[in-house]
């Protein structure tokens, strides 16, 4: 048994020793399939896995120190999945919060040659200071990702991040948050995959009576340590997200997003791109539990002359509904259907840039059969119908879990 599996088991021991902890047991099933044409052959790739689930959460307080431990193991017929997380928070000073977190995520297939597993331990620490007019913080995070099984697409790496942020009010009933993050990735087996990243964030939230306005901006500079600097880029992202209450039941929710990539060395693979996205949705509240929304979505993608055949526009209509009655039923459904049209007729070698119709359906449901027995259901279905039939593709995902509270 891998040493990381033993660590997960050890983390579960406290749930069995302390009766006031939370411990759940259950069973689950996951299916993932992808249908496409490969070398003129109809190809279906699929994975089916049943699993047993044991998870728990334990909270303890010692000398004004809060400790929160979470752990889950899910052995299945194809692989073993586990996760553990320990959080710590110091409450000695109400204006100064010092916290830490450590954990490990893992997925290990039983046969090395079938698929790649992954083991990712991490550790993080955060200091947060509360002044009368502002809140500031600094966070340090380090993770190590190791793959189990050989693959030319996967490589082990270490990732370190340092983030500094400051939040304060500007107009009253609002929050302006400014942040800077530096990250460095080191991959010992693939030195050209090493990079450093600088990010600057602006987040602003303003509440005005029954309306609110949210603004996000992110500017990222990523530099790879390749000899030709291939893949290095600057990325800018802007989002404007208001919610306008027109009546007690009707809310208008437009979203506007802009994103662009500017590469140091432009090629067919690394080509500059601009993305423009506009969504206009109206949400109707039938009652306290049920809401539904509908509206059009427009996406424009512009690539430079290195990859001009990937210029396209996309128009779709999206419907969503959400029903939440806690400890009874939570149901969230989204259905989007539309058409993508490419600006230029592609040559034969770029035939995969062909117009297509698409449907994207996703659903999430949680049903409490009894106060201690819960059924979770997640699914998504995404077919595409292209002008060129051999470019059709269908992706399907299904995950179900049945869990029972052993200790509550």
Among the ranges given (11-20, 280-289, 388-397), the one the predictor scored with the smallest mean pLDDT: 11-20
Per-residue pLDDT, 56:
87
Residue 313: pLDDT band with limits 50, 70, 90: very high
Q: Which two tokens stand for residue 177?
A: 């948050």
**Mean pLDDT computed over 201-228:** 90
Q: Are 47 and 31 in contact (CB under 8 A)?
A: yes
Within a domain: residue 236?
no
Mean pLDDT across the chain: 87
Residue 5 in domain: yes
Task: Indicate whether 18 belongs to any domain.
Answer: yes
Give the residue among 378, 382, 376 at the shortest CA–CA distance from 403. Answer: 376
Tens of pLDDT, residues 46-96:
778 899 998 888 888 878 888 888 889 888 888 888 898 999 998 878 888
In a domain, 265, yes or no: no
Angle at 107 between CA 397 and CA 163, to 5 degrees: 95
| Residue 289 lies inside a defined structural domain of this protein | no
The domain total for the chain is: 1
Question: Which tokens in the block code for residue 126?
Answer: 């955060």
Q: What is the pLDDT of residue 39?
A: 46
Express each pLDDT in 211-222 by its tens digit. Answer: 999 999 999 999
- Residue 171 counted as domain residue: no
Q: Rounded to an integer, what distance in angstroms lies between the CA atom of residue 385 and that of residue 356?
A: 5
Sequential DSSP letters for 298-359: EEEEEE-GGGGGG-EEEEEEEEEEEEEETTTEEEEEEEEEEEEEESSPPPGGGTTS--EEEE
The arithmetic mean of pLDDT across residues 299-309, rounded, is 87
The answer as to whether 294 is a domain residue is no
239-288 pLDDT, tens digit per residue, is: 999 999 999 899 999 999 999 999 988 887 788 999 999 999 999 999 99
**The predicted structure's pLDDT at residue 170:** 87
pLDDT attached to residue 304:
85
For residues 300-316, average pLDDT: 89
Q: Which tokens in the block code for residue 45?
A: 């790739």
The answer to whether position 316 is within a domain reads no
Q: What are phi and psi of 8, to 5 degrees?
A: -60, -45
Domain that holds residue 11: 1-36+53-154
Task: Round to whole Å and give the CA distance between 225 and 276.
Answer: 30
Tokens 């989204």 -> residue: 334
How far is 149 from 117, CA to CA, in rounded Å? 6
158 within 8 A of 186, measured Cβ to Cβ:
yes
């Amino acid at each position: 048994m891998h040493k990381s599996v033993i660590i997960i088991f050890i983390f579960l021991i406290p749930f069995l020793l302390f009766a006031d902890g939370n411990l759940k047991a259950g069973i689950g099933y996951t299916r993932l399939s992808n249908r496409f044409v490969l070398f003129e052959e109809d190809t279906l790739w699929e994975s089916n896995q049943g699993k047993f689930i044991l998870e728990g959460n334990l909270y303890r307080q010692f000398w004004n120190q809060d400790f929160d431990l979470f752990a889950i193991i899910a052995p299945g017929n194809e692989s073993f999945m586990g996760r553990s997380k320990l959080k710590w928070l110091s409450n000695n000073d109400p204006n100064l919060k010092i916290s830490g977190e450590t954990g490990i995520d893992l997925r290990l297939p039983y046969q090395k040659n079938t698929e790649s597993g992954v083991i990712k331990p991490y550790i993080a620490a955060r200091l947060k200071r509360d002044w009368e007019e502002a809140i500031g913080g600094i966070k340090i995070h380090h993770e190590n990702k190791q793959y189990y099984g050989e693959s030319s697409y996967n490589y082990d790496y270490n990732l370190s991040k340092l983030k500094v942020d400051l939040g304060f009010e500007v107009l009253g009933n609002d929050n302006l948050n400014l942040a800077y993050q530096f990250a460095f990735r080191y991959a010992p087996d693939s030195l050209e995959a090493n990079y450093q990243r600088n990010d600057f964030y602006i987040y602003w939230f303003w509440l005005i009576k029954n309306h609110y306005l949210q603004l996000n901006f992110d500017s990222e500079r990523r530099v790879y340590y390749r000899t030709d600097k291939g893949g290095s880029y600057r990325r800018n992202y802007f989002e404007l997200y208001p919610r306008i209450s027109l009546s007690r039941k009707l809310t208008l929710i437009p979203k506007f997003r802009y994103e662009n990539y500017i590469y140091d060395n432009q090629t067919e693979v690394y080509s500059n791109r601009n993305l423009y996205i506009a969504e206009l949705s109206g949400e109707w509240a039938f009652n306290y539990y049920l809401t539904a929304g509908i509206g059009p979505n427009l996406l424009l993608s512009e690539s430079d002359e290195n990859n001009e055949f990937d210029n396209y526009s996309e128009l779709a209509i999206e419907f969503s509904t959400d029903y939440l009655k806690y400890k009874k039923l939570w149901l969230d459904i989204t259905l989007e259907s539309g058409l993508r049209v490419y600006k230029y007729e592609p040559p034969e070698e770029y035939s995969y840039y062909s117009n297509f119709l698409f449907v994207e359906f996703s659903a999430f449901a949680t049903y409490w059969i009894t106060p201690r027995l819960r059924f979770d259901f997640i699914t998504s279905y995404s077919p595409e119908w292209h002008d060129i039939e051999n470019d059709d593709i269908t992706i399907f995902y299904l995950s179900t879990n049945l869990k029972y509270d052993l200790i509550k």
